Structure formats: structure tokens, C-alpha cells
Amino acid sequence: MVDPVLSVRGLKVDFGGEGRSVPVVRGVDFDVYPNEVLCIVGESGSGKSVTSLAVTGLLSETARVDGSIRLCGIDVTTAAPETLRQMRGRDVGFIFQDPTTTLNPVLTVGRQITEGEVAHGRLKKADAHARAAELLREVDIADPQGRAGQYPHQFSGGMRQRAVIAMAMAGQPKLIIADEPTTALDVTVQAQVLAVLARRQAELGSAVILITHDLGVVAEVADRVAVMYGGRIVETAPVAEIFASPRHPYTRALLRSVPRIDTSDSRLDPIPGQPPIPGALPKGCAFQPRCAVGRDQPLCVAEEPSLSAVGDNRQSACHFAEKLPAETMAAEPRIHAEAPPSKPEPLLAVEGLKVHFPVKTGVLRRTTGWVKAVDGVSLSVNPGETVSLVGESGCGKTTTGRAIMGLIKATGGSIRFAGRSIRDLDGGAMRKARREMQYVFQDPYASLNPVKSVEDIVAEPLRIHGIYDEMGGARRIAELFDMVGLSRTMLGRFPSEFSGGQKQRIGIARALALQPKLLILDEPVAALDVSIQAQVINLLQDLQRELGLAYLFIAHNLSVVRHVSDRVAVMYLGRIVEESSRDGLYDLPVHPYTQSLLSAAPVPDPAVRDTRRRIVLEGEIPNPASPPTGCTFHPRCFRATPLCSAEAPVFDRYLDFPTRTACHHAGPLAEGHRNIFAPGVLEAAT
């Protein structure tokens, strides 16, 4: 057998100096072999990023590292700083999460790509520019000569991350460590970046450690998976086995809590409670308080299980690893609030909504152009129904939501709520109209006023409208707390004392205070850990059933959208390109952009990754200030013809489908197939 590139035994990392030290990594063992992709999966605080920094000695000086780390024959924990520096330049390449901050803003990209090689004496300064261009070409960057002389701010997010990949690969390292490399990117760009990463890795034969929280990405790229929880690896196995038959309750619960993009769903099965905070771990097994198998079992409370073999090539740290049932998906069908059969009066009807922002330039700051953030959006939401608006960043979905709410002034079109036009209402009338329509924000950390108690925050809408006493005062607030599953004992606390999921519950309680009929949910779960996402999604579905609420759900996560929606609209560059019933859109999309989007989204099922091929879109979303002519999608479209650049398609019904779309060449990918996720469908199309 080949020797591992990296071998870690008993790794422990503690943070903090005098007095209290916080154990963040508590005994981790793993190996990585050449030409292998090891994915480390975990939620926030699991210690996965710290592990990756520790193995190359990149942690700050406040961290204490114990254990043995052998990387390409060097013992990292005892090596001299100079040896480590040489090793990092030669044997390891790093790709970090946020491409906007990992590059130095005041040095050219080309210089940053090659300076490692120059510093290690493998490249002459005079040859650096040519080498940089060569490396950029290898990661598919157009005009590499010119691009090498540019600064990071002149690159788009996806290009920056590809430049970082070029930098990491420059020295042909034996090990590449990628820490959430695509988390900050849109799904079509993620597909590009993962493809480049995979190709370059195969060319160099490097070993890869990829750290992620996204099970879809894991299923897509991993050879082997290590699941981390509370600072330890709780399970490790080849990727197929992890997904098919997880042998740790946490892995099992994690897989069941994630909505799937490729199947009609069951109700999500969330993991109760919160991920543990390093430094305040429960006694015994760290997962025990949340575990369906071991909760309050004397053995699990008393003793932390060690990671031990449970068959060939796989290990699990669970006292009951051998006794776990085999199935992974919950059987309980989702209770779906069917849309009322008769055609009711829509609660919200938006026609031709436009939001244009002026672009000012020149000495006198004159308006020289318009950013058409929203450019003719029409949609309707019926009572008790969930309509989702999906799209990548910058497509205008949030602007649409805010314009409907009256938080941004619409430039054109009509917005009717319960049969009444609410566009251009004056201040007082708009405030009244808003009582029936409320907004839930993406970032629960930013949407709660930090200097008010949560009781006052939830009561604030009632007080502003002067109906606090009328609605029942403190009793009403307590009811709202019950409704969103928060304890009444928390009423007097301040937002900083709550976790992300709890804060989002408070945000929902506040939105419900005025008894609205419609909630606009702007990425309500995007900032939450996956196990918490499921809790909040279930809460939203329960509330909808109990209170008959209508939802306008704005999101970029296609799996979550499939799970919650009755109808779905896909946005691109300020317009809706396709709208349909949920299953209509996911099973049989007809617009090429929807098709690309769905094919680019990673599916958490390694069994289909070899049979399923992606449509990898070229380029990125154009600048909305100067959109392409005709159909704005045509420069990236695989069906584009001269007609597309000349004439914008109208948004209209497609055949007898429940679908409306705006495309000259609309149509399913392949005739006769009923599901885009079925093997072979995408291949036939491309």
C-alpha cells in the first residue's frame, strides 16, 4: 500500500491562554492518500477548519497543538518554523473560503499566484508573468496575459476563486487543503469551480482535503468522508457507504434533516437542540443530548465512545454503532397544505414590477444609466400558498421582495394586495396596509435590535400600531413565543443571548404579531446550520397550516425551495424566466437557465454522480447596468441562436404545461423523460 501524504494521530487543539482554555479539536486521527479526496463534514464549531489549519502549522500563537502530524515525512508539531515554511511552499496548497478577502487587494493577481514559487527559488522573477498567465489559463480564465496584471477587485468572485486554485496548484503540491471553497459562490459558479478543481487535481494526482458543510458537495466530489462533531471525528467511511448506511446517529440524523432536490419529499426530521459550543460540551458523548439512540442512556452519558472499526475501511465513534437501523430516509410523508382547488382571488398580485436604480457618473454626478434590478416581474400568491422566488445573487429576488413590501420604491408596474393597489400609497396608508403583510429577514443576527429585550422586539409592531393592549398585551407576546417554540422564561433576555436558530424564531414571532395573511421570507434559513435549518423549515410549515398563511419564499437554495413550495418562479437578471408548479418545474424544466441551475446543484447522493452530468454554464451573471441585448441569458445559453440576441422573448404559457416561460427555444431536455434527475437525461441533452 502507498504511504499516506498526511497522517494525523491524536490531534488536540486548545485555544485561549491564562486560566480558561477551550478545547476545539479533541483527539482526531486520519490519513490522506495520494490522488484521494477526503471530505471533512461538520457544522459550525465542529473543529473542521481548525483541524485543517493545524496540520500545516498555520494556527495563531494562542492555539496549543498536541498530537502527531506527519505531512510528507515532516513532523509538523515539532518542526522548526523555517522547515514548516519550506514545506508549505513545496508540499501543500491552500484554498480558503472567501475569495474576496483571501487575495491581497493591492498586489496584482499574477504576482500573488507566482510569488510562492519565486520565494522558494523555483521561478525567476523575469519569468513570473508568463508563468502566472500559464497558470491562469489552466484554470480556464480568458485573456490570461491581461488578467495576470490586474488586481483582485477587477475579478469576479468565481474568477478570484479560480485564481486562488491556480495559486494553490502553482507548486504542484502533494496535498491541497480546500476550506469551504465554494460556500461563498453561486451554484452555477460553484459547478465551474468544482470542475476546475477536480480536473487540476486529477492532472497533478494530489491528495485533497475538502472541508464543507454541504452534503451535496460531499456526494459530488469525495472519495472518503470524515464527519466531525464537537471537535472529534465521529464517523469515517468511503463516500458511498456514508450515504447508503451511516453508522453514527449524527451522520444519520444529518442526512435526514437535509431537504432533497431530486425527490418528492417527506417531512424533514430535524436534529433537536443546538450544536455544542466548544468549552461547554456535554458530558460523555458530545452528541448524546441530541441523539435519537443514546439520549440519556447511562453508557452514553458516562463515557465518550472512541472511534473504532465497524467493518472494512470504516470507523464510527458510537456505543451503539452495530445496532443502528439501516434506513436513512424518514418514512413519514410530508403533510402538504394542498392549494385550494377553486381559483380564488389572489392575495398578492404583482404585474410588470420594475425597480430601476440610477447610475451616476461624471463631474456633476448626472444619471447616465439605470441598473434594472427588477425589470418586469409578474407573480401572484394565493391565500395559504407558498410561492418561491429562486435565483442566484444579483438576480433581483430580494429587491422584488422589498419592493412589494414598500421598502424600496417601485419604478413601474402594479402591486395589489387583497384586491387593493398598494403601490404609491402614502406613508400612513402604506403603514396600515403593511399590517397584513410582514417580512422575515435572512440574517437573524442583524435583524433584531441588540439594545432591546426580545419581549420588546416582538411587541414593537403592536406598539407602533397602537394596538398592544387591544391585542392582549403581554399575554399575546407569550402566546407568540409558544407558537414559535420558545420558552416564556426567555422573554426578558436580549438578542445576544440567543443562538441563530432561536433568533430566527424571534424574527418569525415578531412578523406574526400583527396577524398578517402573507409573510415575505427572505432567505430565512440561509444563515443557519443544516440541522437548525430543518427545525425552522418545519416550524414555518406548521405555522402555515395552523394560521392559513401565504408565503412568498425568497431563496437561492434549490433543495429548500423544492421542499417548501407550491409554486416556483426562477429569476435571472431582474426577470422571471420560468414559473411553474413545484413538481412541474423541478421534474420538467423547459427554460435552459432553469435546466442549467438544476443540473449544477449538487445532489446528496453519490450513487448518481457518475451517471449524472452537469451543464456547466460559461461565465457569470452579467452586470445588470448593461445587460445583454435580446434575451439576457443568451451569452451563456447552450441553445442560443441569432434570434435570441436580437429579440427578447415574451413570458407566456408553454404548451399545455402548468408552466410559463420566457424563451424562444423552450422545451424539455429530452423527450419522453419525466425527471431531469434521472440518469442519462442531461447527457442526451448536451
Q: Work out whether strand 437-440 and strand 518-522 pair parallel, antiparallel, or are unpaired.
A: parallel
Rounded Cα distance between 174 and 184, Å, is 26
**Chosen residue from 224, 319, 397, 434 binding other proteins by CB under 8 A:** 434
Site string for other proteins, 504-543 (x = CB under 8 A): ---x--xx-xx-----------------------------
Site string for other proteins, 464-483 (x = CB under 8 A): xx------------------
Angle at 212 between CA 208 and CA 214, to 5 degrees: 125
Alpha carbon 167 to its chain's center: 25
Find the shortest distance in angstroms from Cβ 324 to other proteins.
39
CA distance to 263, 350, 644, per residue, from 570 (Å): 19, 15, 19
Nearer to other proteins, 465 or 639 (CB): 465
Out of 21, 34, 79, 151, the residue judged to bind other proteins by CB under 8 A: 151
- Side chain identity, residue 682: L
Residue 280 is a binding residue for other proteins (CB under 8 A): no
CB of 584 to other proteins, least distance (A): 32
Shortest approach of other proteins to residue 409 CB, angstroms? 12
Binding test (CB under 8 A) with other proteins, winner from 86, 245, 380, 414 = 86
Toward other proteins, which CB reaches closer, 2 or 451?
Answer: 451
Residue 451 contacts other proteins per CB under 8 A: yes
Using CB under 8 A as the binding rule, whether residue 450 contacts other proteins is answered as: yes
Position among 153, 545, 653, 674 found at the interface with other proteins (CB under 8 A):
153
DSSP 120: T
Q: Name the one range near other proteins by CB under 8 A: 113-121, 277-285, 576-584, 626-634.
A: 113-121
Which of 85, 334, 356, 493 forms a contact with other proteins (CB under 8 A)?
85
Binding flag, residue 460, other proteins (CB under 8 A):
yes
Query: 232-238 and 308-309: which strand pairing?
Result: unpaired
Binding residues for other proteins restricted to 167-196, rule: CB under 8 A: 167
Q: Are 506 and 498 in contact (CB under 8 A)?
A: yes
- Distance in Å, CB of 132 to other proteins, minimum: 13
The cell numbers describing 345, all together, are: 382571488
What DSSP assignment string belongs to 503-554? HHHHHHHHHHTT--SEEEEESTTTTS-HHHHHHHHHHHHHHHHHHT-EEEEE
205 CB burial (10 A radius; 0-12, 13-18, 19+): exposed
| H-only helix segments in 42-127 | 48-54, 81-91, 109-119
Stretch that binds other proteins, among 35-43, 217-225, 379-387, 401-409 (CB under 8 A): 401-409
CA distances from 264 to 220, 582, 587, 588 (A): 20, 10, 10, 13
Asked if residue 90 binds other proteins (CB under 8 A), the reply is yes
Q: Minimum CB separation from other proteins for residue 58, in Å?
A: 6
The least CB distance from residue 96 to other proteins, in Å, is 6
**Of 56 and 386, CB closest to other proteins:** 56
- Shortest Cβ 123–other proteins spacing (Å): 12
CA dist 111 and 108 (Å) reads 5
Say how many C-beta atoms besides its own lie within 10 A of residue 325's C-beta. Answer: 8
Q: Pairing mode, if any, of strands 207-212 and 232-238?
A: unpaired
Q: Is 407 in the site for other proteins (CB under 8 A)?
A: yes
Cell numbers standing for residue 350: 404583482
Alpha helices in 263-316 (DSSP H): 298-302
CB atoms within 10 A of CB 197: 25
Tell me the site size for other proteins, rule CB under 8 A.
Answer: 60
- Of these, 432, 488, 545, 674, which contacts other proteins (CB under 8 A)? 432
Q: Does 115 bind other proteins (CB under 8 A)?
A: yes
Contact 89, 69 (CB under 8 A): no
- Supply the minimum distance, in Å, between the C-beta of residue 113 and other proteins: 9
Contact with other proteins (CB under 8 A) among 236, 400, 442, 565? 442
Nearer of residues 441 and 572 to other proteins, judged by Cβ: 441
Q: Contact, 99 vs 164, CB < 8 A?
A: yes
As measured in angstroms, the least distance from the Cβ of 61 to other proteins is: 9
Minimum CB distance to other proteins smaller for 446 or for 650:
446
- Of the candidates 108, 76, 62, the one whose C-alpha atom is nearest the C-alpha of residue 7 is 76
Should residue 366 be labelled a site residue for other proteins when binding is judged by CB under 8 A? no
Tell me, what amino acid is at 538? Answer: N
For residue 232, state whether it binds other proteins (rule: CB under 8 A).
no
Footprint of other proteins (CB under 8 A): 56, 58, 85-90, 92-94, 96, 98, 101-107, 112, 115-116, 119-120, 151, 153, 164, 167, 362-363, 402, 405, 407, 427, 431-432, 434-435, 438-439, 441-443, 446-452, 460-461, 464-465, 507, 510-511, 513-514
